[in-house]
């Protein structure tokens, strides 16, 4: 084998060709399964896309670097199922561009966080984590009380629609209005929101102040949506209950 | 080409040279240490064994499954079932509906206590505190004061369906906003309610009339609460949002509608019963700890 290498080194183009072949093996093993991803990843039938307000919250989640300490991926291990619930399925993040699975946990996993705690808890915890969890090392985010900038939401929805997320043209056109409507259940705009997104997304003032749409509204709406976009993972445990 | 040169050995290191000569400088042809070569051979050998035994190569819509036919999904779910089965010995008894009987079984409660503590820490402590000490806006569980009831069966009902939660059978309680009242009245009422706490409220004042017209139906004529509608007693200094005049004014203006999530989807019926008994026992546990 060393003799082969000795001879190969003396034929420069042969060495280049051999390097390309060796390096592509690793690439092919990772890339080849993507060619058939449409057939191998099951899309949950009940998967819903994020609402504009939740999407804005996702933007804040990324902006503040939440993903650096929190994963959104319950691993397929018995202990993880016991603590967090059914493990994450690939189809769950089909509408996430980019996905926020993460691999490092300084804080707990958030994939099944939706509706585990109340909105009031999230608001208090984001503004000052120590007020809720004395031993927490999570930073405080007091500036989230600022007014939410919804100017780019229509463009965000349009971009995601081009990537295959099922946002209808009227959803894209009404994105800004829908973001506001989701936090104002008693407003006239709420009807339009319900017509476009149905009953499943939470419709309420997330930061307990309906007079103003804040970044807290968006982030809490997003956190409350985690793990609630589809019920498919819960089938993992019920289908094979014996 | 090596045969074109005479083999030349470097006298200092004892290694061959490459035979190249750059103005008198010669390059040693030092071979790889044997250890590295062997490590490389071993890792190659391991990878071949792994290909044979474990899932390895993608084949379009399928993949090579390997002789062991390991399946991560099955491993995880089977492992999880094993964890569940391991607990059935004592946890199964908590599916019984008579919680009082379970509570009387000291041996069973002692066996379940560590698990209850863990469940509480994972699910309840974020809002209610690790020892059930509560916080601003979140009820204390480690005392004898209850908005609904301290009976284990009633606590289990609250855990199952929550309060003001997204659950069709949730407990519903809302302190409405009284911002339609005139500011002067609101401030007087806030002072009156703050006074109920330490008995300094003037029962003959106009604010007392306002109280009996607007507040008494939920909080009781004397603000004593306990009507089973989630409205707190205003006389026992245990109002979760605080009862100083400024906070009461805030509550009167904007209302309160605290949410306790429903846990039916997250916890099993046995786990909920176990937690209910644990929570019901928190106040006595606190007393024993010398609180």
Provide φ and ψ at A65, rounded to 5°: 75, 25
Average pLDDT, chain B: 87
Identify any residues that bridge with B171 across adjacent strands, giving them in sequence order.
B163
Please tell me whether B254 is known to bind a ligand: no
Residues pairing with B167 in the sheet: none
A43-62 pLDDT, tens digit per residue, is 999 999 999 999 999 999 99
As a residue count, chain A comes to 242
Q: What is the ipTM of this complex?
A: 0.83
Residue A2, pLDDT score: 67
Q: Which residue has the higher pLDDT, B22 or A60?
A: A60
The answer to whether the CB atoms of B58 and A81 lie below 8 A apart is no
Which whole-number Å values give the CA distances from B95 to A85, B90, B268, in the listed order?
A: 20, 10, 9
Nearest CA in chain B to A206: B259
Q: Which of B58, B77, B254 sits opposite A29 (nearest CB)?
A: B58
Q: What share of chain A in percent tops pLDDT 70?
A: 98
Q: In angstroms, rounded to a whole number, what is the distance separating the alpha carbons of residues A184 and B239?
A: 28
pLDDT digits (tens, 9 = 90+) for B193-226: 999 988 888 888 889 999 999 999 899 888 888 7
**How close is the nearest chain A Cα to the Cα of B110, in Å?**
22
> What tokens appear for B144 in the block?
């004898």
For A116, the closest of B60, B78, B261 (CB atoms) is: B261
pLDDT at residue B125 above 90? Answer: yes
A214 forms bridges with which residues in the sheet?
A147
Q: What's the pTM value of the predicted model, to 2 decimals?
A: 0.86
Cβ-contact A124, A208 below 8 angstroms = no
Cβ of A81 within 8 Å of Cβ of B126? The answer is: no
Q: How far is B219 from chain A (nearest CA, A)?
A: 23
What domains does chain B contain, in order, with CATH numbers?
Answer: 34-63 (no CATH), 74-171+260-288 (1.10.760.10), 183-254 (1.10.760.10)
Categorize the per-residue pLDDT at B63 as very low, low, confident or very high, splitting at 50, 70 and 90: confident
Judge whether B215 is annotated as a binding position: yes
CA dihedral A191, A193, A195, A200 (to 10 degrees): -110
Identify the pLDDT of residue A240: 54
pLDDT at position B98 is 83
In chain A, where are the structural domains located? 2-40, 52-230
**In the CATH scheme, what is the homologous superfamily, with its name and number, of domain A52-230?**
Cytochrome c-like domain (1.10.760.10)
* Helix, strand or coil, per DSSP, at residue B19: strand
At B5, is the pLDDT very low, low, confident or very high (cuts 50, 70, 90)? low
Residue A1 confidence (pLDDT): 59
Yes or no, beta carbons of A33 and B58 under 8 Å apart: yes
Whether B61 and A29 lie within 8 Å, measured CB to CB: no
Cross-chain Cβ contact B60/A78 below 8 Å: no
Instruction: Return the structure tokens found at A1.
Output: 């084998």
Distance from CA of B201 to the nearest CA of A (A): 30
Q: CB A124 to CB B137 under 8 A? A: yes
Statement: residue A67 has pLDDT above 80: yes
Contacts of B136 in chain A (CB under 8 A): 124, 131
Q: Is B258 helix (H, G, I), strand (E, B) or coil?
A: coil
């Amino acid at each position: 084998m060393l003799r082969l290498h000795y001879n190969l080194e003396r034929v420069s183009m042969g060495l280049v060709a051999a390097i390309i072949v060796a390096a592509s093996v690793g690439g092919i093993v990772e890339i080849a399964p993507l060619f058939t991803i449409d057939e191998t990843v099951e899309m949950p039938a009940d998967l819903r896309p994020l609402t504009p307000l939740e999407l804005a919250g996702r933007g804040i989640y990324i902006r503040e670097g939440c993903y650096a300490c929190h994963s959104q991926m319950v691993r397929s291990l018995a202990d993880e199922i016991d603590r967090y619930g059914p493990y994450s399925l690939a189809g769950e993040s089909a509408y996430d561009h980019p996905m926020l699975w993460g691999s490092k946990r300084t804080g707990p996993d958030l994939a099944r966080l939706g509706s585990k705690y109340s909105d009031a808890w999230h608001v208090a915890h984001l503004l000052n984590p120590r007020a809720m969890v004395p031993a927490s090392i999570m930073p405080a985010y007091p500036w989230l009380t600022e007014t939410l900038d919804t100017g780019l939401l229509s463009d965000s929805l349009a971009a995601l629609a081009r990537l295959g997320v099922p946002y209808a043209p009227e959803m894209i056109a009404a994105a800004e209005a829908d973001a506001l409507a989701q936090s104002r259940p008693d407003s006239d705009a709420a009807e339009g929101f319900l017509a476009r997104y149905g009953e499943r997304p939470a419709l309420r003032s997330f930061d307990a102040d309906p007079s103003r749409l804040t970044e807290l509204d968006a982030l809490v709406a997003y956190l409350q949506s985690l793990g609630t976009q589809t019920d498919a993972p819960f089938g993992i445990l019920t289908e094979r209950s014996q | 080409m090596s045969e074109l040169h005479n083999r030349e050995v470097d006298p200092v290191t004892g290694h061959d040279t490459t035979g190249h000569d750059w103005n008198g400088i010669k390059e040693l042809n030092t071979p790889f240490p044997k250890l590295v070569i062997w490590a490389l051979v071993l890792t190659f050998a391991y990878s071949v064994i792994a290909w044979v035994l474990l899932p390895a190569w993608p084949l379009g819509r399928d993949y090579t499954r390997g002789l062991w036919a390991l399946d991560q999904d099955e491993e995880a779910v089977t492992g999880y079932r094993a964890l569940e089965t391991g607990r059935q010995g004592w946890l199964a008894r908590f599916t019984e509906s008579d919680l009082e009987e379970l509570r009387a079984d000291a041996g069973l409660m002692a066996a379940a206590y560590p698990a209850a503590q863990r469940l509480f820490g994972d699910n309840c402590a974020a809002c209610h505190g690790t020892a059930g000490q509560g916080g601003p806006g979140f009820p204390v569980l480690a005392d004898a004061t209850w908005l609904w009831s301290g009976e284990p069966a009633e606590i289990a009902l609250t855990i199952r369906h929550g309060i003001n939660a997204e659950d069709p059978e949730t407990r519903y309680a809302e302190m409405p906003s009284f911002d339609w009242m005139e500011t002067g009245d609101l401030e007087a009422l806030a002072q009156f309610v703050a006074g109920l706490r330490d008995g300094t409220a003037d029962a003959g004042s106009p604010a007392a009339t306002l109280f009996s017209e607007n507040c008494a139906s939920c909080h009781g004529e004397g603000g004593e609460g306990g009507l089973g509608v989630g409205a707190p007693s205003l006389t026992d200094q245990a109002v979760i949002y605080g009862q100083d005049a400024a906070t009461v004014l805030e509550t009167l203006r904007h209302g309160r509608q605290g949410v306790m999530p429903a846990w039916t989807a997250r916890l099993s019926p046995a786990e909920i019963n176990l937690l209910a008994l644990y929570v019901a026992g928190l106040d006595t546990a606190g007393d024993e700890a010398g609180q």
